[in-house]
Each structure stands twice: as C-alpha cells, then as structure tokens.
Structure 1
Amino acid sequence: EMVLGSARDCLEMARQNGSTRNLNSAHLAVRLSKITPNRAQIEWYKALCDGSEEQLGYYDTFRQMRTAKREHAVNMSRVVLATFWNGM
C-alpha cells in the first residue's frame, strides 16, 4: 500500500513537471523571438563595418564611435542580448 501511494505521487509529480517543462520551453521561445531583432541588428552592423572601405572591423568601428547614434543603438542591442543570456 505504501509503495503504491509513493508511485502515484511520483507519477503525479512527473506529469506536473512535464507540463512545466513545456511551458518553460514555450516562454523561452517567446522571449527569444523578442530579442531576435537585436541580434539581427548586430549582425547587420558587423557586415556593414567589415565591408567598409577602411576595413577596421566592427569592434574598432564601434570603439571609435564615429556616428554615435548608430553605435548607441547597436550598444543597446548588445545590452539587451547580454541581459537575456545572463538570465539563462
């Protein structure tokens, strides 16, 4: 009788944890879709800098901050991505 009760408890906990994992996966997918534009902006910026005539690369271009508005937007995207991944 005691074994039967604990087996039921284990099965109930497994059922609850299974749905929790599915919900966590769904929430993660939604959060990831919200930060995807930030990742795309950084990839665009890297391609833009790597293809420039000066060929400084995106890191050096970012550090020089020639057009502060663009670099500020890229930096904000970097902060959003860092916050997301630090929360994982």
Structure 2
Amino acid sequence: MELIMNTNKFLFYTMASLSFCLFFFITFVVFSFFTTIIDIYNDGGLSPFNYSYVVGHLLILMFGLGCFYFSIKTTFKLKDKI
C-alpha cells in the first residue's frame, strides 16, 4: 500500500510539473502568435505566402491546449487519490 501511495505522489508531482511547463509553453506560443500577426499586418496583410505561419501557430496552440487540459485533468484525478 505504501508503494502505491508513493507512486501516486510521484505521478501527481510529475503531472503538476508538466502542467506548469505547458502553461509557459502556451504563453510563449500566444506571444509568438501575436508578434507574427503584427508582422503580417505590417507586411501588407494575409497572403497565400504567409498564411502558413498563422495556421502553424494555431495548430501548435491547439495541440498545447489539449495537452494542458489532459495534464490538468490527470493532476486533479491524482490529487484525489493522495
């Protein structure tokens, strides 16, 4: 029983750390996305040559938000088991 509790604590702290890191990753992606939008606006607007920057940032952002959601969800489930 003691080993299971230690494993749950380890997993809880691991997932909490992952959530913390993912939060800063998402913050960086949002900042980078806004600077990309500003650069595109200064270059004359969205064109077929630079729309991939927007799509790439949105894909990375959606993936990061999904990972963040599931890491928070798992962290809260593990918190109840400690």
- TM-score norm. by structure 2 comes to 0.48
Higher relative contact order by CA 8 Å / sep ≥ 6: 1 or 2?
Answer: 2
Structure with larger Rg: 1
TM-score by length of 1: 0.45
